[in-house]
Structure 1
């Protein structure tokens, strides 16, 4: 074969390869001829899942979507290091796919020492977005809560949403909502159904569950969940003149149609269920516990109620602090920066901290600010000693002088101190999400640490309690433990049926605690022997047992209050005063029970 023939064959083979490659990479996608399509990735849990997520992104580079939406749980624990790695991934996504918008999930906000929510709504911080493409408006809603697994939107954000819908109604034929949590994982997501018929909201799409589902419409609104990018799944939402289409893929080549949704509201309403939750709920009380008074704060409330010399004080996410007398009359209201769970009453004073890193000393009688201190990290918890105040902020514990708030010392403990420290025998005792259990004397001269966990399997979901010469805590890995204060050695361990996220209540030599599986138990503080266990029927988070007369009062995720007999665990009373999550301990004040619900509703009950 001569050289000319060889060159011809080589050129022919190269042309054949080029043509086959062109055919391969220009293969028409099932939604290529639609009016538009967007890419959706959720639950990346980056960077521990780097290999799978990076591979998934590589498989999708040929898509060329009009926009990419990331629906939360971007990282595993929300650390600075993890978000730095996610930032590199985000740049790669933007280089490959163009514009990206993202939400935060519970894994991004539950253990993080930073506040990455960057949109201010009524003085509170959210991570939201609004993107208009073609004749569709996509709105991202923030359902994530600091330190919580469940979701919530809040009245302030829902008001913001309504204004966005009203401003876009003339230019947008359809609206699509995104959030991390499905509606069923929130206490107030049902309010989206009230907007769907009015504004032609077609679809609410979320992550969190790591699986694909699509539900029948309610008030014209379809809901769907998507698979996790950490498992190799991606979702495409496309639309033509008549319908929206939801596609799933785990190889970037084969796209399976999950479902199609009519863009016409009247057609969706024909097959819709009618939503009735808002009108069907009726508060449930009993002859034993009756309503004394109630009120509503401006925004979501992360904080438990506190007793003051004149009555009760509460705070909400917008940074409002409210002081009421015992009969429910508002005495004063003050506003600082956005707050989480950090309002503490001590004598005639109130201590508060905000997410901007400011600590306040206020006079309880009139709300006058007596002193302030600026620190560099968001304030998450406050505890009070004899002469000092202990502040859990970012990944540090700050020791401040109690009257002037002058800085005494700062300790970097490597993780968030979510719950207030226990001040006992001249020492602050606290746990952090870095896995440490710490003892700090009030002078700040000595910090003692025991390692009791790692990653998020720690004791940081509770305030440690002291009994005799042991410290007792619940653990996120699913147990209660007693530790010797002198040696740091384990005295006893009680396995739990679910995650330990409860403060232990000490009554004489008995301990009481709850789990997020809804179980309440009584045990011996010296030996760890379990006397009884009972189930409440719903998850119990921070609303752990409190002593009330001769029994225990506990709150669960349904918003129920349950009165148990302390001796045998027998249920005496079960009421449901309000339709919202109950995530914080109730305040017992004589014959009164003061309850602060997640949506900002305060209810005061009286025992008859």
Structure 2
């Protein structure tokens, strides 16, 4: 009997050993101190069967936390989000906690404003979550209506304060976000500020998505950067940890296995951070110091142009001087790389510099606001009205603040009440619509709409206000609502107004023709889904309506019978409004090419600026010049007849708007970093 019992015990223990060995072979991090799962780019409900299977896998694994890093849905609709929350409820029911940030697909076409949290009145969808000794910091890089990423000044302050607290509390911070912000990949304009921050605080790991790939990784500024694959393609990422290291695992649904990508030591690595310039404004010289025993190679880039690239292994020099460094508008955005064995240091500086006296554009004044300027500024009553994403509204005269006030976050453009400009209209994403006296900032009238206000178009006696998916016709004199029309999708862009008629695009797939008396008189079909004219302000020449679509087309349509006059395809112009000048129209592509067509569809010229453009559209500055801003912080000054152009670096941020003023050759430039500048052609 005893022998039989011992035999059964041995068989049982053998089974347990073999079973455990198999489980640990399949899930190799179960012996670690803890683990979390990170999913990016779900694009729900596209390929939902794959994502649902990953959710089931999470139920088996039971991670301490699940983090979702944006592009949760395909187009950000309520229907899609409802389906996602229903699918992810299996985690709730099993007691598995999750947090999320947003991606461009969640906010790019959504008429619902998705950001639920605020930092100093600026909307974000961020988080911080402590798991064991790790602090997971989720950063919101999404920008409403845009594909590109932006972190924002207030969120950067929050990140720095969170990193400081983590150091005091001896927590190990890990940064999660959707858009790559630096290191091996970058889809932001202000990620460089966070890159500099990483040199001051110990952050062992950054995970980001957007690229649907694990191909981009590396050690930058003492942090391991890893792009992660898309959940819709069957991938999820596991971060496990023990006392010595973090371990990054790739899980593939296709092969049902975990692959170790990288183990990141939790013991801080000694890296050389001494890579700093000095600049002499007088003669435009820059000196760069670098330790040749620590760096194999250095590179310096100023305003997008390489100034210096030097191998250090055969030199004992520690300082390199670059002479005659001048800039067009007095701004030198310097990017320095130091390449060492096993890591790269990437440090950024904004420096004042000697001005190129031969530059055609001259800076008149500059002013810094709290946050990004997505709202188009307006020249009115001898000054400039400008509003930022924090809801700060300013009246500037000669670049100096006359008054300042606070409302809800502002995205919509600002509209003057009349030619005299004694008052103006402004709306916020909380649905508040204001009439404000220009000279004093006094609120004269106010109404509340049920939806976020995204755009305001100026008629003679009325306004057409785009709020959510609706177009409100509102009487100027008393802010009475004359009509409300469901435009079947996000109303993002200004309407074109002419002869008492608004031509309003929407992401519902049409251009809606609305009379000032509130009647919806017609609709012109422009496509569906992604491929519509939703991001475009159209234009009319004679009986022809011209618009762009995200299906890479410029289209001319006869307003009488709605037949297409012409169509130009295979140019990525979908985020450009149409600017008309005499019998010509101008549009721009996401890749940075500006096109001039005559009204019959003949291409007159195209000018490739060499920089991406997603916020700004071409604007006629004079009979001789066209202007446009780029995502690289440049102003392109284009000859309106020939298409020849010059580029001028204006700031280290996306140019969101260029607005010609009544003063010949003078224009306003607004940026995503909150700066606004007055620039003109010619001498100061």
**TM-score by structure 1 length?**
0.93
Moved more, 513-522 or 543-552: 543-552
Aligned: 1:114 with 2:188: no
Alignment of 1:69-148 (within 5 A): 69-96=67-94, 98-148=96-146
> RCO higher in 1 or 2 (8 Å CA, sep ≥ 6)?
1
Report the Cα offset of residue 159 of structure 1. 0.9
Whether the aligned pair in 2 keeps the contact of 1:555 and 1:586 (CA below 8 Å) is no
Aligned: 1:217 with 2:219: yes
Whether the aligned pair in 2 keeps the contact of 1:314 and 1:322 (CA below 8 Å) is yes
In structure 2, the partner of 1:265 is 268
Q: Distance in 1 between matches of 2:219 and 2:19?
A: 43
Flag the 1:428–1:354 CA change in 2: closer, same or farther, 3 A.
Answer: same
Report the Cα offset of residue 422 of structure 1. 1.2
Whether the aligned pair in 1 keeps the contact of 2:500 and 2:515 (CA below 8 Å) is yes
Moved more, 313-322 or 281-290: 281-290
Q: Distance in 2 between matches of 1:126 and 1:344?
A: 26
Alignment of 1:315-330 (within 5 A): 315-325=387-397, 327-330=398-401
Q: Distance in 1 between matches of 2:31 and 2:19?
A: 21
Whether the aligned pair in 2 keeps the contact of 1:352 and 1:360 (CA below 8 Å) is yes
Q: Distance in 2 between matches of 1:495 and 1:283?
A: 44
Whether the aligned pair in 1 keeps the contact of 2:412 and 2:428 (CA below 8 Å) is no
Aligned with 2:556 (options 461, 472, 482)? 482
Any idea what SS the aligned residue of 2:257 has?
Answer: coil
In structure 2, the partner of 1:340 is 411
In structure 1, the partner of 2:40 is 42
Report the Cα offset of residue 306 of structure 1. 1.0
Q: Summarize deviations over 1:411-432 as a string: whole Å, max 9, x none.
A: 1111111001111111111110
In structure 2, the partner of 1:12 is none
In structure 1, the partner of 2:368 is 296
In structure 2, the partner of 1:424 is 498
Whether the aligned pair in 2 keeps the contact of 1:197 and 1:265 (CA below 8 Å) is no
Whether the aligned pair in 2 keeps the contact of 1:173 and 1:200 (CA below 8 Å) is no
Whether the aligned pair in 2 keeps the contact of 1:546 and 1:554 (CA below 8 Å) is yes
Q: Summarize deviations over 1:411-463 as a string: whole Å, max 9, x none.
A: 11111110011111111111100101100111113331122110121001111
Q: Distance in 2 between matches of 1:21 and 1:398?
A: 66
In structure 2, the partner of 1:440 is 514
Whether the aligned pair in 1 keeps the contact of 2:166 and 2:173 (CA below 8 Å) is no
Moved more, 270-279 or 151-160: 270-279
Any idea what SS the aligned residue of 2:84 has?
Answer: helix
Whether the aligned pair in 2 keeps the contact of 1:473 and 1:481 (CA below 8 Å) is yes
Q: Which runs of 5+ in 2 are unaligned?
A: 1-13, 273-340
In structure 2, the partner of 1:61 is 59
Whether the aligned pair in 2 keeps the contact of 1:207 and 1:225 (CA below 8 Å) is yes
Flag the 1:20–1:442 CA change in 2: closer, same or farther, 3 A.
Answer: farther
Instruction: Tell me which protein shows more strand as a share of its residues.
Output: 2
Flag the 1:300–1:79 CA change in 2: closer, same or farther, 3 A.
Answer: same
Q: Distance in 2 between matches of 1:587 and 1:271?
A: 49
Aligned: 1:538 with 2:611: yes
Q: Distance in 2 between matches of 1:281 and 1:233?
A: 46
In structure 2, the partner of 1:11 is none
Aligned: 1:392 with 2:395: no
Flag the 1:495–1:283 CA change in 2: closer, same or farther, 3 A.
Answer: farther
Moved more, 245-254 or 99-108: 245-254
Q: Distance in 2 between matches of 1:150 and 1:84?
A: 25
Q: Summarize deviations over 1:527-571 as a string: whole Å, max 9, x none.
A: 101111121101112312111231211111111111111111112
Q: Distance in 1 between matches of 2:525 and 2:261?
A: 47
Q: Distance in 2 between matches of 1:304 and 1:349?
A: 16
Report the Cα offset of residue 22 of structure 1. 8.2
Q: Summarize deviations over 1:149-196 as a string: whole Å, max 9, x none.
A: 100011111111122222232223421111110011001112122222
Whether the aligned pair in 2 keeps the contact of 1:559 and 1:579 (CA below 8 Å) is yes
Report the Cα offset of residue 48 of structure 1. 2.1
Report the Cα offset of residue 97 of structure 1. 6.3
Aligned with 1:308 (options 376, 380, 383)? 380
In structure 1, the partner of 2:436 is 362
In structure 2, the partner of 1:233 is 235
Flag the 1:52–1:28 CA change in 2: closer, same or farther, 3 A.
Answer: closer
Q: Which runs of 5+ in 1 are unaligned?
A: 1-15
Any idea what SS the aligned residue of 1:90 has?
Answer: helix
Flag the 1:279–1:294 CA change in 2: closer, same or farther, 3 A.
Answer: closer
Any idea what SS the aligned residue of 2:638 has?
Answer: strand
Q: Distance in 2 between matches of 1:519 and 1:78?
A: 29
Flag the 1:30–1:17 CA change in 2: closer, same or farther, 3 A.
Answer: closer
Report the Cα offset of residue 19 of structure 1. 11
Q: Distance in 2 between matches of 1:257 and 1:27?
A: 12
Whether the aligned pair in 2 keeps the contact of 1:219 and 1:274 (CA below 8 Å) is yes
In structure 1, the partner of 2:652 is 579
Q: Distance in 1 between matches of 2:579 and 2:23?
A: 64
Aligned: 1:529 with 2:602: yes
In structure 1, the partner of 2:187 is 185
Alignment of 1:474-513 (within 5 A): 474-513=548-587
Any idea what SS the aligned residue of 1:333 has?
Answer: strand
Whether the aligned pair in 1 keeps the contact of 2:461 and 2:475 (CA below 8 Å) is yes
In structure 2, the partner of 1:8 is none
Any idea what SS the aligned residue of 2:466 has?
Answer: strand
Report the Cα offset of residue 52 of structure 1. 1.6
Any idea what SS the aligned residue of 1:190 has?
Answer: helix
Q: Distance in 2 between matches of 1:114 and 1:53?
A: 24
